[in-house]
Structure 1
Amino acid sequence: MPNRLKKTPFLFALTLLLTISSSCAQEPKAPNVLFIAVDDLRTELGAYGNPIVQSPNMDALASEGALFTNHFVQVPTCGASRYALLTGMRPTKPLHLRNDAIEKELTHKPEGKTPESFIHQLKQNGYYTVGIGKISHSADGYVYGYEEEVSSQKELPHSWNELLFNPGKWETGWNAFFAYANGENRQSLKKQVKPYEAGEVNDDGYPDGLTTQLAVAKLRELKKQKQPFFMGVGFFKPHLPFNAPKKYWDLYKRDDIPLSPNPEIPKNINLNSLHNSGEFNQYALGEEHPNLTKQASQEYAKKLRHAYYASISYIDAQIGELWKELKTLEMDKNTIIVIWGDHGWHLGDQRVWGKHTLFENALKSALIIRSPYASHQAKKVNTVMETVDIYPTLLELCNLKPKNKVDGESYKAILDGNQPTVAPMAYSYYRNGISLRTERYRLTKYYRSENPMIELYDHLKDPNETVNIAHDRPNLVAELLPKLEKGNKGLYTSK
């Protein structure tokens, strides 16, 4: 009996200690987030079935994570697409379709209960947030014009603990965004430039290589911190100009690069649904200036597609460096990696070179989410998804919920293997129109006087959107139109 009395307090203490230790071990550690925004990246990767594009690092991340095959942006222009991403909200007024949407809506507001962005909410919940490059619209996160001095005004004033950028010899973020290898840029050369360049330089001979170096160095610093981090890395390419080190051009034989499968203007549409490639054609020294009435020659079209592919391979190599560093630092097992293209791009499709349309080529973009959770790995998600869904999805992956109501829906349940109870739809906005994408159809309504105002494409029979069948399928249009109108929250009035 005496021995038993002596052991009891010890056994009780030991049991209590083991219980506490077990509880602490089971408590989920907040994951880090590495969010990589890639400008103008459509689904032109090996992971999406392109046999020509050399994108081994993004393909590897897609094979380990979830590849979203039907991700659509809200607005096919950089600033407005990023506004939807950051806020989780679809456009409700014309300002939300403009590149300065973030500046006009968020930059000058005092910090309040409602987070200005999902990054802000992560920061409020103990995350250390670092922005490098183009995450919001500005090339370096500060508000100033293309040819102005760099300002001290952050585009997202409450979201970042640190905002970093190395413009190198180009001196400012916007100069770096339009950089050529010799240190000049589109502005300094008064647009007397070509829309592509194969620079005889290493990766750091263009700004995206400098961004990679900065991000790698920062990861090493973040390794020493105890709190979780969100690091946003915004790469410029493959945005115009399609400039990349020559070694990435050398990965391709131009004769192997296919031309667009849909180079003609779709039948039964009004030309106001398209445009004359104004952004592309401002690069004055381009050999040709294609538009809706004059196509690019096959030779020039292949050269441009070659340049776009080289730019993708350049960025793929940068992403590979980040991924390698995460693994070296043994941070990969607790880091969510997101690769997001801010919109698509017409590569001569429908006679357009650029974004800024409500066609599939401008609205569909790359999305890869590599989660450390085993159940989320090696998945191909074919469910229709919108950019606004990223906000609540990322928060839920970080064991959080949006503080305010957002338009997006979390896709964590789908990553877990569950099927959606309601067929998802994606809304996109531009050119006085709204486009509704379902699993099979794209219905677009333009709020304008020019006819036809309604376009319908059957992606099962016509995945390249070559024929508007709205006139032939009035019953289907009538069925889908009320769903489309639900996405019009005061943005347009019928003409």
Structure 2
Amino acid sequence: MLFKRIFYLLAIVLLAAACRSNGTQSKGTAMPEHPNVLFIAIDDLRPELGAYGNEVVQSPHLDQLASSGFLFNHHYVTVPTCGASRYSLITGMHPLTRSHIQNSAIAEYLSEKPETERPESFVHHLRRNGYHTTGIGKIAHSADGLVYGYLEEPSDIQEMPHSWNEFLFDAGEWGNGWNAFFGYAGGRDRNHLDKQVKPYEAAPVEDEGYPDGLTANLAIEQLQKLKKQDQPFFLGVGFFKPHLPFNAPKKYWDLYDESEIPVSPSPGIPENVNEASLHGSGEFNQYQLGEEKAGLDHDVSDAYARKLKHGYYAAISYIDAQVGKLMAELKKLDLDKNTIVVVWGDHGWHLGDQRVWGKHTIFERAVRSAFILKLPGNQYAPKAFDEIVSTVDIYPTLVDLCGLEMPHQTDGHSLKMLWEPQAGQSWRNTAYSYFRNGISVRTDRYRLTRYFREAEPTVELYDHQSDPYETKNVAADQAATVDRLLETWNAGNTGIFDR
């Protein structure tokens, strides 16, 4: 398996090298004036793909997409939790209040609100400008676009009431969105099993035996319908995995030899860090039948860590296959020539890193996520960008690429300047993240985090040149660097934790 993996990665590298030039400009077909957009949101997807250098995970379709488009090696979300990260995505804004870093942000600030001159989201802006907008699955926080609790019956309250021409979801045998989101094979779900489940499952079922397979099929049906329309479209497709539980058809588990899966390179709590910067993996520990519980006072065994990572990788491979189906249909319908494709992970995930199993920190593992952008035509050569970019940059980028004007100022900037630089322009090369009473800024070399709390230390500095896994806070030893970076940090201080 290792030989095949090396051969495959070499082929991808050679293909990419053949396509790439010293710059991003290449002669060829230009983008259409108002291209379609296929936006694929993948829950909890940290940059754990072959395209990002992982030599174990099997992700051929996402790797192919990355090798033919733009791969962003250092993309960071603003908030490491699902709903708040997606609120920042659709609005292009950093959080201003504590409510903005909660999963309920979209429901609180958009649902049941009247339409105003300022669009509620970039999807809303596209719709106002002639785009037909269709949503499927988890685009905002809800699994099916409606506001209701995990154990409640679905409501008729839309999360994003002005953004969609239509919002669809096939819950299959699970019955509703949240049951499907926590679904196990055979129509079972964590909600109605009172959490008496394991945090993973490998069932001998086809892709449609879990909800994401149904989502892919529904998206294909919509592509076929959208092909017949005489207006550009925005199709948002939200996949659940690899969010917990790590459930996937057994055939995707069978792609891996569990003994070859490495454990975390940074399994301990970082030096000179207060445990208040981390958490005890409460979301993960809700799965009551898991063989071991996680906690800051102990490591899980290497064997169990490999089992869990096996499940995470299997879930990635499962979603990779669904993305492959969408890309094949896009090409079959001849829509690839006029459709922008975006793949975006809503945040990262600690796979035992810093002794955490989950997101909800402002360490690198929780805020760095996958981001791929494929433009139609061949005007631009594929490229992997090492610049620091943020989720808030996606709104202005898509508006720019779709030939529209920005309706208001956001905290982001169009990424187009990276592959089409203009004289006098320079990329800001910073990204800000907010959580756990803290604000963190990532630069090309450092991560500086400051917490608004009593527990010391309240300032953390990580040098990614010498410590890419953030194993040691060196703030006390590099006071001059901290002082210099605090000026950059201040630019992202929205006052969220001062109130």
Distance 1:395 1:276, change over 3 A: same
Find the aligned partners of 1:474 and 1:484 in 2 and give their Cα distance: 14
Shift of 1:488: 1.5
Paired residues, number:
470
Shift of 1:404: 1.1
**Residue 177 (1) aligns with residue 171 (2):** no
Give 1:221-236 correspondences, 5 Å limit: 221-236=225-240
Letter paired with 2:192 = S
Tell which deviates more after alignment, 104-113 or 81-90.
104-113
Same amino acid, percent of matched pairs: 60
Distance 1:347 1:476, change over 3 A: same
Equivalent in the alignment of 2:477: 472
1:441 aligned residue (442, 446, 455): 446
Give 1:131-170 correspondences, 5 Å limit: 131-170=135-174
Contact 1:66 1:368 in 2 (8 A): yes
Shift of 1:182: 2.0
Letter paired with 1:177 = F
Equivalent in the alignment of 2:134: 130
Letter paired with 1:387 = T
Letter paired with 2:321 = A
Distance 1:406 1:331, change over 3 A: same
Find the aligned partners of 2:338 and 2:32 in 1 and give their Cα distance: 10
Equivalent in the alignment of 1:211: 215
**Unaligned runs of at least 5 residues, structure 1:** 1-24
Deviation per residue, 1:227-257 (Å, 9 max, x gap): 0000000000000000000000000001111
Shift of 1:29: 3.8
TM-score by length of 2: 0.93
Find the aligned partners of 2:337 and 2:288 in 1 and give their Cα distance: 48
Equivalent in the alignment of 1:261: 265
**Residue 94 (1) aligns with residue 114 (2):** no
Equivalent in the alignment of 2:339: 335
**Residue 463 (1) aligns with residue 465 (2):** no
Find the aligned partners of 2:434 and 2:356 in 1 and give their Cα distance: 18
Equivalent in the alignment of 2:394: 390
Letter paired with 2:231 = Q
Find the aligned partners of 2:347 and 2:330 in 1 and give their Cα distance: 27
3-state SS of paired residue (1:389): helix
Letter paired with 2:445 = R
Contact 2:133 2:235 in 1 (8 A): yes
Letter paired with 1:481 = L
Equivalent in the alignment of 1:220: 224
2:57 aligned residue (49, 53, 56): 53
Contact 2:135 2:236 in 1 (8 A): yes
Contact 1:89 1:407 in 2 (8 A): yes
Distance 1:359 1:396, change over 3 A: same
Letter paired with 2:472 = V
1:80 aligned residue (77, 84, 90): 84
Give 1:176-195 correspondences, 5 Å limit: 176-195=180-199
Find the aligned partners of 2:401 and 2:330 in 1 and give their Cα distance: 19
Contact 1:375 1:416 in 2 (8 A): no
Find the aligned partners of 1:190 and 1:402 in 2 and give their Cα distance: 46
Shift of 1:28: 4.2
Contact 2:270 2:471 in 1 (8 A): yes
Equivalent in the alignment of 2:359: 355
Equivalent in the alignment of 1:421: 426
Contact 1:386 1:427 in 2 (8 A): yes
Letter paired with 2:37 = V
Find the aligned partners of 1:217 and 1:108 in 2 and give their Cα distance: 29
Equivalent in the alignment of 1:491: 496
Find the aligned partners of 2:30 and 2:46 in 1 and give their Cα distance: 40
2:325 aligned residue (312, 318, 321): 321
1:482 aligned residue (457, 482, 487): 487
Contact 2:70 2:384 in 1 (8 A): yes
Letter paired with 2:487 = P
Find the aligned partners of 1:154 and 1:484 in 2 and give their Cα distance: 36
**Residue 310 (1) aligns with residue 314 (2):** yes
Distance 1:34 1:28, change over 3 A: closer
Letter paired with 2:460 = E
Find the aligned partners of 1:422 and 1:73 in 2 and give their Cα distance: 17
2:243 aligned residue (231, 235, 239): 239
Find the aligned partners of 1:359 and 1:485 in 2 and give their Cα distance: 18
3-state SS of paired residue (1:52): coil
Equivalent in the alignment of 1:196: 200
Shift of 1:374: 2.3
TM-score by length of 1: 0.93
Letter paired with 1:388 = V
Equivalent in the alignment of 2:285: 281
Shift of 1:150: 1.0
Shift of 1:423: 3.7
Shift of 1:26: 9.7
Find the aligned partners of 1:485 and 1:180 in 2 and give their Cα distance: 45
Letter paired with 1:251 = L
Contact 1:427 1:487 in 2 (8 A): yes
**Unaligned runs of at least 5 residues, structure 2:** 1-28
Deviation per residue, 1:306-325 (Å, 9 max, x gap): 00000000000000000000
Equivalent in the alignment of 1:380: 384
**Residue 411 (1) aligns with residue 436 (2):** no
Equivalent in the alignment of 1:20: none
Tell which deviates more after alignment, 221-230 or 103-112.
103-112
Distance 1:493 1:201, change over 3 A: same
Find the aligned partners of 1:184 and 1:97 in 2 and give their Cα distance: 31
Distance 1:463 1:375, change over 3 A: farther
Shift of 1:291: 0.7
**Residue 69 (1) aligns with residue 73 (2):** yes
Distance 1:189 1:299, change over 3 A: same
Contact 1:93 1:491 in 2 (8 A): yes
1:108 aligned residue (80, 96, 112): 112
Equivalent in the alignment of 1:17: none
Equivalent in the alignment of 2:8: none
Equivalent in the alignment of 2:48: 44
2:371 aligned residue (359, 367, 370): 367
The runs of at least 4 consecutive aligned structure 1 residues that moved more than 6 Å come to: none
3-state SS of paired residue (1:288): coil
Find the aligned partners of 1:282 and 1:482 in 2 and give their Cα distance: 40
Find the aligned partners of 1:230 and 1:50 in 2 and give their Cα distance: 31
Find the aligned partners of 1:229 and 1:48 in 2 and give their Cα distance: 30
Letter paired with 2:172 = G
Letter paired with 1:84 = S
Tell which structure's C-alpha radius of gyration is larger. 1
3-state SS of paired residue (2:372): strand
